[in-house]
Structure 1
């Protein structure tokens, strides 16, 4: 069966992969591979060196052996667009990846400072946060930094809103998250009762969305509500801490009946930054704006004169928690980048030595006053 007969038309709008996000730009990217007789497809699931790929001929199982690079950032991932062997090939292989538009990446626990791609070609990063437990605003900021860095538009969804019956309390929680997430839509949803789902459905109704959050955040319940059927298993969260088991164990790509595509992910215990300086800057945009007004361009916002950031903290305009969170994420990101950047590593060592010397001098000065 030829490629053209599978497509049925030269128009991308009638392409069988349109429900999965196919468009004229992907058509152009794939053109050279079509000339080689390969089929386009989108990876819907990856599992131990093999992946499920939806193609114009249906979903096929393909081996990723031919695209196993030394760079872990180029491994096949859910959401990737690929070129696969045509029908009749045995075994069937993924031959190449099409260039990614966006990629959601976190750091691994590896000492080599490697990144792990959680989802590719994503338009919306939906961060699910459970209202069944106390809000961890620092974790929300961390998710948002990675989301902004990926190139996707973040969205925060406060799940299990039915567990907060007091509207005043709910409004305060939403306000706390909105302050934490400038420029990001914050929605409250009860998937159990369907409250707030219409707004979320409209938001993810075009493009590809990835669903992120900790175990117990209600991601699988939310995925089922958006899909209109039970496509994901759901388990109850523990009453003690609101945490759940890993209901979802692989990243799965699902076409939604209202349009758009959803990638559901396993619950994430650790969300390490990976070269996400610009993402951190967007999460803390108010601090970046204040820093531009500091007297010194390299102000550390500690004891320097003319520091606009410290002035905002002293006046109550900027919460101390926000500044501390900003510093923490920037330090973490610098540490990750420094593992692979010798120049930055050298600069950080000099900075640590300088601060150590300043601290030692301050202690000696205090001892002199006490003597």
Structure 2
């Protein structure tokens, strides 16, 4: 059913009566070559996108997480950990970079050592609220769980000094009830987040690019050499970074590719279904003739 699934339970018999419809679901393309969705969490109100301030800050990865979060129906909040390992100037610079990649998304810099920023984070975890922690290994998700629970519930491991990348501490999804009644889902570290769907969330995630594109002279502008292209103008004068625009194009291509794969799979399944129906009809007709 997926972590966070809502169920109705008979209190006397302890039997699940039925599974309630999901109000949100965070899904990614499953690892491997099969075209298959992998459910990460369901019925979540907020996705905490956790990144480390030391050497793990990856703006393109953040864009992927934000896109998938909007598509899930939940609200994104970006958590920047290990604030205590950086200077004030470094923290401010990192926040400015993230703001450009995640427009209008709340950003909170925290320290699990000094508890700086924890109260601000808790404002997004009121009683009855459900949130999920998503991010790479070594960014401090398990340590954050321990901080919020005020006890050692999750094991932690040191990151490699060479590249600040961590080893998987959490190997399965687990839900915790916080002291104030909020629910928090911890997930294994993900180095790659392959998109499953997200067409409807592109405009929200890249609202700056979409705004420039809407001002182009031609509605079908491809933002290459067309006259009156507002996107090219924004790239030239520095209003839009080339890295962000290329990320926008890359994610659009990836979503289109995944959609083609899903459509092809659906066509094959439909074809196989009708082949079975035709075979059944032929067998039935042959049986009747034999009688």
Normalized against structure 2, the TM-score is what? 0.86
Asked if the contact 1:248–1:267 (Cα under 8 Å) also holds between the matched residues in 2, the reply is: yes
CA distance in 2, matches of 1:296, 1:109: 39
CA distance in 2, matches of 1:112, 1:245: 26
1:198 aligns with 2:119: yes
Q: Unpaired runs of 5+ in structure 2?
A: 268-291
Equivalent in the alignment of 2:4: 79
Equivalent in the alignment of 2:157: 235
1:114 aligns with 2:36: yes
Residues 83-116 of structure 1 deviation map (CA, whole Å, 9 limit, x = unaligned): 4576567xx7x56421000001111134442111
Asked if the contact 1:132–1:163 (Cα under 8 Å) also holds between the matched residues in 2, the reply is: yes
Higher mean C-alpha displacement, 133-142 vs 298-307: 298-307
The count of corresponding residues between Structure 1 and Structure 2 is 264
1:188 aligns with 2:109: yes
CA distance in 2, matches of 1:179, 1:337: 28
Equivalent in the alignment of 1:124: 46
Picking from 36, 42, 61, the partner of 1:139 is 61
1:225 aligns with 2:225: no
> What is the correspondence of 1:137-216 to structure 2 with a 5 Å cutoff?
137-164=59-86, 166-206=87-127, 207-216=129-138
- 1 or 2 for the larger relative contact order (CA 8 Å, sep ≥6)? 2
Counterpart secondary structure, 2:142? helix
Does the C-alpha gap of structure 1 residues 298 and 95 become closer, same or farther in structure 2, counting only changes over 3 Å?
A: farther
CA distance in 1, matches of 2:202, 2:113: 33
CA distance in 1, matches of 2:73, 2:212: 24
Equivalent in the alignment of 1:41: none
> What is the correspondence of 1:36-51 to structure 2 with a 5 Å cutoff?
none
| 1:288 CA drift (Å) | 0.8
Counterpart secondary structure, 1:205? coil
Counterpart secondary structure, 1:156? strand
Q: Unpaired runs of 5+ in structure 1?
A: 1-75, 346-371
Residues 136-180 of structure 1 deviation map (CA, whole Å, 9 limit, x = unaligned): 11011111111111111100010001110x211211111111111
Equivalent in the alignment of 1:273: 195
Asked if the contact 2:56–2:139 (Cα under 8 Å) also holds between the matched residues in 1, the reply is: no
| 1:321 CA drift (Å) | 0.8
Residues 239-282 of structure 1 deviation map (CA, whole Å, 9 limit, x = unaligned): 11112221111111111113321011010122011111222321
CA distance in 2, matches of 1:301, 1:330: 14
Asked if the contact 1:112–1:339 (Cα under 8 Å) also holds between the matched residues in 2, the reply is: no
Counterpart secondary structure, 1:254? strand
CA distance in 2, matches of 1:185, 1:84: 36
Equivalent in the alignment of 2:287: none
Equivalent in the alignment of 2:238: 316
Higher mean C-alpha displacement, 155-164 vs 240-249: 240-249
Counterpart secondary structure, 1:341? helix
CA distance in 1, matches of 2:33, 2:8: 33
Equivalent in the alignment of 1:255: 177
CA distance in 2, matches of 1:280, 1:306: 23
CA distance in 1, matches of 2:252, 2:148: 35
Asked if the contact 1:146–1:273 (Cα under 8 Å) also holds between the matched residues in 2, the reply is: yes
CA distance in 2, matches of 1:219, 1:240: 20
